[in-house]
Amino acid sequence: MRAEPLRPGRARLWTALVVFLITLSVGGGASLALTDGFRARVEDSARRDALVIGTSVARTLAQQFERAARFNVPLKLIPGVDAYLADTLAGTPGITQIVLRGPDGREIRSAVGEEPGTDQASAPVTVDGLQVASVEVSTNPAALISSSARFRLSSMLAVLATAVAFALAAAFLAGSRLDAEHARLASGLARAAQEEFEPGPLDHRRPPRTGSGAVGRAYGALLQGNRRVTERRAALEAYAEELLAVDFDGALRPDVERIRREVLARPATADKARSS
């Protein structure tokens, strides 16, 4: 019976695929958790800066409205305020909303950005010590660090590149070796099936450590079985030699030689020897 060739490269392919997917899911998940947590920390550290900018904007606007109020111009009637507030909002990083409120707290004019505000700075508009309005500026540190949004994408690309690199490394450093061990074991089993119990050319390479893992256990079982048969053959040989040593007239030699041939012959030749 001849051994059929086994499909090569299966372990290499599966190992590469598993390393790629696990790196992508576990490494990617950890990276996402890291980037999200760190982004929140960076935003938190930028809060004070956003608030400094917001306070400065509120003060500047309050000064400008004070000039108009001093000339008794009603703040509601000043032309172009909405456009000016919108321009200030768009041109100043970190602020998300500017509201001009009357002395009763009601909104007179405003400019609102896309992001919600997290902190607020306020400056009063005073004329002769009397508050006639106030400027409220909402800030959000996320608006300050929007330019770094791509760092999440960069991290994901790095994870992808790592997954590809380690998948290739695993394919050659682990998967290929398992395929090689598979081929060696298959070859050893096929030779044992053909009753070749002596170590073959492939077995002269460094054998896997028996007892450590499934590969070692399979090799161990194969080597043990081969050794047992070889030792029993050696015992029979020794017995045959013992008989021949005392066969002074040579009468036993033909029968001893026939028995030796029958025992040592491979299956096909053994049948032939027995029939002849």
Interface segment toward other proteins; rule CB under 8 A; list 73-81, 99-107, 127-135, 219-227: 219-227
Helix 213-245 with 253-264: angle, nearest 10 deg: 170
Q: Give how many residues touch other proteins by CB under 8 A.
A: 103
Calculate the alpha carbon distances from 55 to 94, 115, 138, 141, 253 in Å. 11, 18, 9, 14, 115
**How many CB atoms are located within 10 Å of the residue 75 CB?**
17
Q: In the complex, what is the shortest distance from the CB of residue 78 to other proteins, in angstroms, rounded to a whole number? A: 16
Report the residue number, 33 or 130, with the smaller CB distance to other proteins.
33
Q: In the complex, what is the shortest distance from the CB of residue 133 to other proteins, in angstroms, rounded to a whole number? A: 19
Rounded Cα distance, 274 and 270, in Å: 6
Residues 237-256 that bind other proteins (CB under 8 A): 239-240, 243, 246-247, 251-252, 255-256
113 near other proteins, rule: CB under 8 A = no
Rounded Cα distance, 167 and 22, in Å: 10
11 near other proteins, rule: CB under 8 A = yes
Interface segment toward other proteins; rule CB under 8 A; list 37-45, 97-105, 112-120, 128-136: 37-45
**H or E element that contains 95:** strand 95-101
262, 268, 269, 272: which one binds other proteins (CB under 8 A): 262
Residues 129-158 that bind other proteins (CB under 8 A): 144-145, 147-148, 151, 154-155, 158
73: Cβ–Cβ under 8 A, 6 or more apart, which residues?
none
Interface segment toward other proteins; rule CB under 8 A; list 73-81, 96-104, 127-135, 212-220: 212-220
Residues 42-71 that bind other proteins (CB under 8 A): 42, 45-46, 49, 52-53, 55-57, 59-60
29 near other proteins, rule: CB under 8 A = yes
94 near other proteins, rule: CB under 8 A = yes
Q: In the complex, what is the shortest distance from the CB of residue 104 to other proteins, in angstroms, rounded to a whole number? A: 28
In degrees and rounded to multiples of 5, residue 99 shows phi and psi of -130, 130
Report the residue number, 98 or 170, with the smaller CB distance to other proteins.
170
Token pair for 16: 């590469």
The residue behind tokens 């405003």 is 110
**How many CB atoms are located within 10 Å of the residue 56 CB?**
15
| Four-residue CA torsion sign, 54, 55, 57, 62 | positive
**How many CB atoms are located within 10 Å of the residue 83 CB?**
10
272 near other proteins, rule: CB under 8 A = no
